[in-house]
Amino acid sequence: MLKPKFWCLRVEVEEKKYLVVDGDKHVIAYNTKKEAAGYFERSYELAHRRSYEASMSACFHFIQYNPRVVGPLTLEEVKKAAGDDPEVFSMWGGAGGIDGLLLKNELPCKDYPVNIAAGLKKPAGGARIYP
């Protein structure tokens, strides 16, 4: 069960900030900062283990969206940041996509970077560009 104060994932695209939402357009929230960071860390680690190409794609995704963990927050703070008319956007690029709730006002909390490469080994395989 989610605590009254929770942690969310924030991305930034073209100088606009969004909270990451799921397929049903609900903001994804976690009880701890570590759990929230795990959303991106696990995705990157799985891609990193698959292949060099998948690892690079995950890196581009990370650079494109600049993921951060934000919190702790309350539901009222999220509603205030989303404004009177909440808008959810699907953002896609060459390395994949993400859905987010547009933040029209600043969140009243700190944001923390996600360290996707901590403790990883060299990617599997290598780029094969010629027979």
Residue 121 covered by a domain = no
For residues 124 and 111, which has the higher predicted lDDT (pLDDT)?
Answer: 111
Find out whether 100 and 19 touch, Cβ atoms under 8 Å: yes
C-alpha to C-alpha distance for 38 and 2, rounded to whole angstroms: 16
Residue 73: other Cβ atoms inside 10 A: 20
Task: Flag whether 122 is in a domain.
Answer: no
Residue 58 domain boundaries: 7-113
Domain assignment present for 124: no
Q: Is residue 97 in a domain?
A: yes
Q: Is residue 90 part of a domain?
A: yes
Domain assignment present for 19: yes
In a domain, 64, yes or no: yes
pTM exceeds 0.85 for this model: no
Number of domains in the chain: 1
Residue 84 CB-density burial (10 A; 0-12 exposed, 13-18 middle, 19+ buried): exposed
The 10s digit of each residue's pLDDT in 59-98 is 787 788 888 999 999 999 999 999 999 999 998 877 678 8
Which structure tokens are listed for 1? 């069960």
Question: Is residue 126, in this structure, part of any structural domain at all?
Answer: no
Q: How does pLDDT run across 12-69, given as a tens digit for each residue? A: 988 999 999 998 899 999 999 989 988 888 777 777 778 877 777 777 877 888 889 9
